[in-house]
Chain A
Amino acid sequence: MTRTTRGRRRASLVATAACALVLGVAGCASSSSSKGGGNKSGPLVIGASVSLSGDFADSGKAVQRGYQLWADEVNAKGGILGRKVQVKIVDDTSSPNQVTTNYQNLINRDHVNLVFGPFSSLLTVPASQVAKRYGYAFIEAAGGGPSVFAQNLQNLFFVQRATVLTSGDVFADWILSLPADQRPKTAAYPELDDPFSAPIAEAIRKRFEAAGIKTVYKEVYPAETQDLSPVMSGLAAKHPDVVVSGTQAEDAYAQVKSLIQLKFSPKFMFMSNGASDPLNFPDKVGAANTAGIMSVADWYPTSDATGSQAFVSAYVKKYGGTAQQIDPTSAEAFACGQILEDVAKQTGKVDNATIIKTLHSGTWQTLLGSLSWDQSGAPKGTMSLVQWQSGKLTPVFPAADAKATPLSTKPNWGG
């Protein structure tokens, strides 16, 4: 062992002892803090660590807006069970270490009554572990990666309609629902090497191949790939009927731009992410070039799910802009609060044990639609298939969500 390591270990022992002392004192001072704690009267304080700086800052702020807006709305209606709601947000700088510290502090030092989740699976995993340790329910809007559900925590509930891995299923469902002569015969899969991109395209590929749709191109490109033109030129040379892109944001825009420059327009085009961004996608690739491109969404501004339109008007009133400019992450964060309200309404309680027990059964109506979860907290539903039609992202499948008929052939570039 080196001197530095030994020194660090000694320092950490001292720190641990100090923490134990502080926690002990805190425990004596407030005996109600240990399990699912906080005060049982006064305002209902909900703590959340959100990335207000660092890599996830933009999305983190969208989560913050959703939580805050819900608190304002519920307080305007008199709060939950007569208690005003206070949302206590702390910044985790997009760091897994900081998020752990933040939830420790929220629970042990600030004695918040409840907690909501942070942004990203990366931060949700350590944060949910802290919540589990102290018996807190962990309702979270933005950690849907496989690593979150692999923990099999019984206190976690992911407030979206599907997990990352199953989010593309709805596109496969639609394609395979087409009459055999209208289905694509060949498929290409350009995939970003990212746990939230490639696995979505891969899940679709398995179903397509099982249904006899031939794979003519499948390549995974590294995240640092700057120039996607050569990649897409290799794809275009194979003339696939359907392009299933496992993308994030910038690579999705680059794929579309490259295909336009290469003058290759497939019959069907699906992108896991990027194309579902109502603001940036048309801005980056040109509004006329979006026509026919498909993606998935669990919320869209025209949704008529429970409370969606009220959310849109409240959001625009509070933050300005237009409905189209609302980041779906804000809607997902808002839905966390809706679920809490419903539990309180149904049980007459808002303690953590009740929330965990209650949410494990039944379906819950939110602005995202009906939600229900398995034991690991993975939602059991499917996403909506959305397609760009006349410059707008429109839900087209399944029929229950559809606002328009899907275009069975993507128009050529430029509409």
Chain B
Amino acid sequence: MHALIQGVILGVLTAGVYALMASGQTLIFGIMKVINLAQGAMVILAAYLSYQLHASFGLDPFLAIPITPVALFVIGVAVEVLFLRPLRQGDKAELSLLVTFAVALLLEGVISLGWKTTYRSINTSYANSSWTVFGYQITLVRLWAFLLSIGVLVALYLLLNRTRFGRAVRATVQNPESAQLLGVESRLVSALGFGLGSATAAAAGSVYGLLYAFHPGSHYDLISLLLSIVVLGGLGSIGGAVLGALIVSVSSSVVAATISPAWSAMTFFVILLGVLLVRPQGLFGSPVRGAI
């Protein structure tokens, strides 16, 4: 029972970080109908940037969060303008898979050149600290990561629901043609949306580097996880991404703690398959019209 509850605690705390990464992925799909296979590589790039800021200037990865998202926002906008915009509208969904995978490989290559291929991890003074609550351990880093993720997700929610830009994004998601007719500059929304999705990857990347060791190829494992989460939650739904992250993280953590780590990764794929059989559009996905 103790292992089960400890597993749930670990799973919930980790889910925040997964949700943050996946929210950017699902946002990009919602706006542009592009499955961004470079999202994992962007998370890893941000982890390296945070690592470097910590190693060179002693900057805490949490304090690096205002910096790395700006850098990744710029990279995201550049990727959209340079590589995705030239694609023809009809083939965009299929070709974007190839293009974003190429971007992922490009980023992996650049990271390998810049930081070599060895594992890195960000070790802060509080990296191993934890609080004991009713006999259970709450890791400080995970707790801060969880709270930060909630904060960023709330900010994202407010941006999408309380601002003019957010309205334009939601309008583009729901009906791009009508939005354009009403004066929404859809090209600008796409570029900013891709940048925003990349920026959330950056925030998640800083935290990711604190939790796990990483190397340039870490993005392969990450992208399969992120795709599972967004498909489970429903492509294009941020609420779905959060719920998907929670299901994936808690189920794999509980199974690893109580049954076997060998079954851990398998579990959420079984859940994913079960959900898709009943709801092919995912938990919160809309079969007809987009919604964030």
Which A positions have Cβ atoms within 8 angstroms of B?
55, 57-58, 193, 219-222, 224-227, 229-231, 233-234, 237, 249-250, 253-254, 257, 260-263, 283-286, 289, 413
Contacts and interface: CB of A to CB of B under 8 A. Distances in A.
Given A230-B252, A233-B3, A234-B3, A286 B123 contact: yes
A41 to B, nearest CB: 43
B137 A230 contact: no
Interface string B254-290: 1011101110110000000000000000000000000
9 contacts: A58-B118, A219-B261, A227-B253, A229-B253, A230-B6, A233-B7, A254-B212, A284-B213, A289-B128
Contact of A254 (B7, B132, B213, B258): B213
A130 B130 CA distance: 54
Contacts of B3: 233-234, 237
Contacts of A226: 212, 221
B213 A263 contact: no
Contacts of B14: 227
Contact of A231 (B211, B212, B213, B256): B256
Interface in B182-241: 211-213, 221
Contacts of B123: 283-284, 286
Contact of B262 (A57, A219, A229, A283): A219
A261 B119 contact: no
B11 interface: yes
Interface of B: 2-3, 6-7, 10-11, 14, 117-119, 121, 123, 127-130, 132, 137, 139, 211-213, 221, 252-254, 256-258, 260-262, 264-265
Contact of A234 (B117, B132, B256): B256
A11 to B, nearest CB: 29
A227, A237, A249, A285, most chain B CB atoms within 10 A: A227
Contacts of B253: 227, 229-230
A56 B123 CA distance: 25
Given A219-B262, A263-B130, A286-B128, A227 B257 contact: no
B256 to A, nearest CB: 4
Contact of A230 (B11, B117, B118): B11
A220 B261 CA distance: 7
Nearest to B3: A237
Given A222-B261, A222-B262, A263-B137, A237 B6 contact: yes
Contacts of A234: 3, 7, 256-258
Interface centre among A193, A227, A230, A254 (most CB of B within 10 A): A230
A226 B14 CA distance: 12
Closest 5 CB pairs of A and B: A230-B256, A221-B261, A237-B3, A234-B257, A230-B253
Given A224-B221, A233-B7, A284-B123, A261 B118 contact: no
Contact of B261 (A55, A57, A225): A225
A288 to B, nearest CB: 10
B262 A230 contact: no
Nearest to B217: A55
B261 A231 contact: yes
Interface centre among A233, A253, A262 (most CB of B within 10 A): A233
A230 B212 contact: no
Contacts of B260: 219
A257 B128 CA distance: 6
B70 to A, nearest CB: 27
Contact of A253 (B2, B121, B254, B265): B121
B128 A261 contact: yes
A249 B130 contact: no
A225 B132 contact: no
B10 A253 contact: no
B262 A220 contact: yes
Contacts of A286: 123, 128
Most buried by B among A193, A226, A250, A289: A226
Contact of A263 (B2, B11, B132): B132
Contacts of A249: 119
B137 A227 contact: no
Contacts of A222: 261-262, 265
Given A262-B137, A263-B137, 12 more contacts: A219-B260, A222-B261, A225-B264, A230-B10, A230-B257, A230-B261, A234-B256, A261-B128, A261-B129, A261-B139, A283-B123, A286-B128
Contacts of A229: 10, 139, 253
Contacts of B258: 234
A261 B140 CA distance: 9
A284 B212 CA distance: 11
Given A227-B211, A230-B7, A230-B261, A237 B128 contact: no
Nearest to A253: B213
B9 to A, nearest CB: 9
Nearest to B1: A237
Max count, chain A CB within 10 A of own CB: residue among B2, B119, B213: B213
A262 B130 contact: yes
Contacts of A289: 128
